[in-house]
Every structure is written in structure tokens, then in C-alpha cells.
A and B are shown apart, each in its own frame.
Chain A
Amino acid sequence: MAGAKEVAMVTYRGIFQEVEGALGMYSDGYRDQSALLDLDGSDAKALGVEAGQPVLLETDSGKVVVAAKISEEPHPGIAFMPSSPWSAQLLSGEVGEGGLLELKSFRAKVSPASPAGAAVTSIEEIAERIRAP
């Protein structure tokens, strides 16, 4: 049964992501390694999401569409996302009491991307959002 789910999000860095980033932040390679979400198998099932399907991620700060991946290792209720301009769209910019900007851990709503908005958000669009007046 498809729907939406709130999950705890944790960002991480992957080696191939960083290699592709070095070879060009605007490349398809970087997008393919960064614009993705590692979902727990049972969470994906509950959402009606299959590997490779676009999913919409929403927080109070923004939203992006990325490609879903299904993890081998179980981690229900938690989803992992590469630290990238895509994950940055979802962060609040809050600075904690200890003076540290929250960059790693937050909550987001995950749902299958509707057919109309089914393409993974492009880096060009993110750059435009950053530079928009």
C-alpha cells in the first residue's frame, strides 16, 4: 500500500560519489551517486517503492526528488542519503546550542514521486534555486 512515511535521515559520503564530484559537480555521474536514498526493505515495501523508483523527500525547508535504493542491511525507520546539494535542500540551517550547524541528522517525509514530478531533481535546478532572487 503506497503512501508517505516520516523517517530519520542520516547523511554520509561514498567514495564513488566523491570521485564523480571531482570529475564534475554538474555531471550525470555525480547526480547518479548523490541523488539517491537508501531505504530499509520493509519501509520501501510499506511505501510501495521499488529500487530505482523516484521518491519525493520533503522537510519544512525544501523538497527534492531522488532515486530510491533498497539496502541489504535492515534499518527500519532510518534512511541514508549521500551528503550533497540534494540533501542540503532538505536541511533547516539551524545552529545548535553547541554552535554546530545541523548537517547530518534530521527527519523527512518520504513518498513515491507522483508521475507528473517523476524525474530526479537536476543539479541545474538546485543551482537555480540557490541563485534565485
Chain B
Amino acid sequence: MAICTGCSLLCDDIEVDFEGGKINKTMNLCRKGRGHYDSLCIDRLAPAVDGSEVGIDDAVSEAAEVLKGAENLLLFGWGNSTLATQKAGVELAKKLGSAIDDPSSYSQGLITEKILKGELPTCTFDDVRNFADVSIYWGDDPSSSHPRHLSRFSYFPRGEKRQRGYEEDREAIVIDVRKSPTADIAADGFFKIPPGGDGNFMEALMATLGGKIPKVEDKKKMLNLGTKLRKAKFGVIFTGLGLAHSMKGELDGFLSLVGKLNELTRFSVIPTLGDYNTRGFNQTLFDETGHVNSVSFKDGVDHGPEFGIAKYLDACDAVMVVGSDPAAVLPAKLARKLAKIPTVAVNSHRTLTTDAALVTVPIAVAGLEAGGSALRTDGVKVEFDAVVKSDHLPDVEVVERIMEAV
């Protein structure tokens, strides 16, 4: 049995046959996971310095030189790294007095932080499968990004107290700005809101739960929702980028709503995080510093948006990007800033970021070519072994070698 590190569900019931180094047949692996598996022999990264291919040892020592010479260094990425690699990364940041950040600083970092701090109640996917009777997908389309979310855990399967699965025992509610594939499945449970309208929706729902008439067009639908939520025995809200960005970093409305729901019944929050081990990095950094991202070790422990990649690109003079492709995601202006800074790209595949990097260091694909452990998006630890041989180094080894060389 193999694991899939294509998304943060970390499915561990994958059967895979190899034939001459290529994937022959897979069972239980979703379309997205199959793409991840198939990419094993496509566009792999070669070690290079300034565009010229070099041996891996030279790439590592050049990388160390870039890092050593920096005044304001940023170590970015980590969502696609194993727990051991993330731990080593934090150690490296401390050793070099650098800033360290991951894509959660422009995604769901704040929601994750509230969960790790205990300000938002949470539970595991196993709890969801066994007990959840209301699943709310808020600004979240897991059918597209985490395809087996609904079938493995949150809507379709049978569980201990949900023996009749989605047919009788569960409800799906989707709150989104468009009729996403997940919204299509939820049918009657779909609430379409305008972009940025999540705050208003929360207010209307709060009013409903408080026994007042909500200020919405379809009052009946909102009142029915209120009733449904009040009657829930075990509710879960799955949050996505749609919600995180609509709230623009201001979570008070969401915290109040979840608080209100928990006065009436039990409601947990599980974020649908991108990258297979984002939760792992957030937890690792949180355990070390009390923060989930945007930390600087220059002077003790400092934290703030100024150390997140979006703002730190102005200040930093060298970057190491591990398992991430910010040049493809960041607004063009910021991507251009990144391209001008001496960059070490540690990755399994060629990307826009690796093409703009000064030094590239290839790594193995975790879950297939290298073993390790990671935290599923609900926080449950999953361990895995390699299933295929490869010459590529596991990411933890690369980070440790760089750490030795600096």
C-alpha cells in the first residue's frame, strides 16, 4: 500500500504497480493523485548553478554559500516537506537568524492558528466520518482540490453513529460565490453569496440562530438553515481559500458564529489546506514559536506580516524556496521581486520558481521515492515509506546537508 502526497488528505490505501520505472496501474487513487503519481517522471529538476548543470554536492555547497552570505534571508515553502524536513528548516532558520514563512501566510494561516491555539474547536476526520451529521463547506470546493474528501470522510461514507451515510444521516451545506462541483452535489444545501459577502451571511445566520429575522432575500431558506444547524448533533465547518480571503485576515465574525453554534450544539472547524503537509509546518513552527508563519529569528523570535513573503521580499537579499512555486502564484510585481533576489530552489520538479533561481537542488518525491511523516489537514499524523527506488535525495537530507555546510 502506498500513500499519496498530492493533497492534504494523505490517502493511504493506494495500490500501485510499477513497470520499468513508470506507473502501470493504480487503485483508489483519485484523478488529482494520479496526476501527482504520473508526474514522477516528468519535468524533474536537475542540480544547477546559474543555469549550468552541476553535481548534487556542488549544488548543495553553492546553496550554502548563498545562504551564508545573506543579511536578510528568507526560508520559504515547507508545505510539501516532511515533518523532519520542516523541523530541520526551523533549526536552519534559527541557526542563520533568518525569516521563515510558508504559503499559509497568504492562505489559511490565520484560521489554522486559531485552531492550534484552541480558539476554534476542531476534531479529526475519523470523528467526522463516525459522528458528523452536518457538513458545511464554506468557500471550499474539496471536490476539485481534495477529491476524496466527501467520499472518505465528510459526506458519503457510513460511520459509527452514521450508519446510513449521506442518504439519511448526513447533510451537506455549501456556501460559495459560484456553483462549484461541491455545490452541485449539495443541491438544496447550496447558498450562493456575492464575492466578499461572507460577513453579511454570517451576520444573517447569527441573527437567525439568535431567534431574529435575518436581513436576507430568501428568509425561509436562511431560517431553515438555522433550524438544521440547531438540530445538528455534530456539525463540522470545512473552510477554504474562499472564506479565508473574504475575511481579509479579520476573523472575529467567524469566531463569533462558531462560538454561537457551540452554545447551541457541537460544531468543529477543519480547514481544507493545500500542500500535503501545510498543517505539519504550521504545527512545527507553532510548537517552536507560538506562531504558524511569518517568523524572524534575527533577534530572538519576531512575528508579523512584515516577515511574510509578500512584504519581506522588499527587505530580503536571499531566499531559499523549498517545495513551493511562489513565482507562479504571487502577483506579478512580487514574482518579479523574487526573480531579482538570489534564490536557492529546492524542489522535485521544474517550475517557474526553479527557472528563475540561481541554484537548484533536486529532491525525491515524498510518499513515492522517499519516506517520512506528515500531518493530514485535520492534524492526524500519517507515516509513510518509499515504494520506489530513486537516486534523488529525500528533502530532509538536502536541508541537513545545507545546514552542515553553512
Contacts and interface: CB of A to CB of B under 8 A. Distances in A.
Interface stretch (A44-52, A86-94, A110-118): A86-94
A93 B178 contact: no
10 contacts: A13-B141, A19-B32, A90-B332, A91-B331, A97-B250, A100-B110, A100-B244, A104-B242, A130-B327, A130-B335
A10 B177 contact: yes
A126 B327 CA distance: 10
Nearest to A17: B144
A26 B331 CA distance: 18
A101 B308 CA distance: 10
A42 interface: no
Contacts of A8: 195
Contact of B248 (A13, A83, A98, A127): A98
Interface in B335-357: 335-336, 338-339, 350-352, 355-356
A22 interface: yes
B195 A95 contact: no
Contact of A22 (B35, B248, B339): B35
B217 interface: no
Contacts of B250: 97-98
Given A22-B38, A22-B39, A99-B305, A93 B333 contact: yes
A101 to B, nearest CB: 4
B143 to A, nearest CB: 8
A88 B245 contact: no
Chain A: interface size category: 35 or more
Contacts of A24: 39, 42-43
B330 interface: yes
Nearest to A89: B332
Interface string B215-259: 000000000000000000000000001101111111000000000
B359 to A, nearest CB: 16
The 8 A-B residue pairs whose C-beta atoms are closest, nearest first, are A98-B249, A99-B305, A91-B331, A19-B35, A93-B331, A104-B245, A101-B106, A100-B249
A105 B325 CA distance: 21
Interface in A1-40: 8, 10, 12-16, 18-20, 22-26
B33 to A, nearest CB: 9
Interface string B56-96: 00000000000000000000000000000000000000000
A18 B310 contact: no
Interface of B: 6, 31-32, 34-36, 38-39, 42-43, 105-106, 110, 141, 143-145, 147, 177-181, 194-196, 241-242, 244-250, 294, 304-305, 308, 310-311, 325, 327-336, 338-339, 350-352, 355-356
A92 B38 contact: no
B35 A105 contact: no
A23 B144 contact: no
A18 B145 contact: yes
A129 B305 contact: no
B328 A12 contact: no
A110 to B, nearest CB: 16
Contacts of A129: 332, 336
A91 B356 contact: no
A58 to B, nearest CB: 13
B332 A62 contact: yes
Nearest to B356: A131
Contact of A73 (B141, B178, B196, B350): B178
A105 B35 CA distance: 28
A35 B242 CA distance: 20
B352 A97 contact: no
B80 to A, nearest CB: 12
A121 to B, nearest CB: 12
Contacts of B194: 78
Contacts of B180: 12
A95 B242 contact: no
A99 B328 contact: no
Interface centre among B244, B325, B333 (most CB of A within 10 A): B333
A1 B326 CA distance: 40
Given A19-B34, A98-B248, A100-B245, 4 more contacts: A78-B195, A93-B334, A101-B330, A127-B355
Contact of A95 (B241, B311, B350): B311
Contacts of B330: 88, 93, 101
A130 B356 contact: yes
Contacts of A18: 32, 35, 144-145
Interface string A72-87: 0101001010011100
Contacts of A131: 339, 355-356
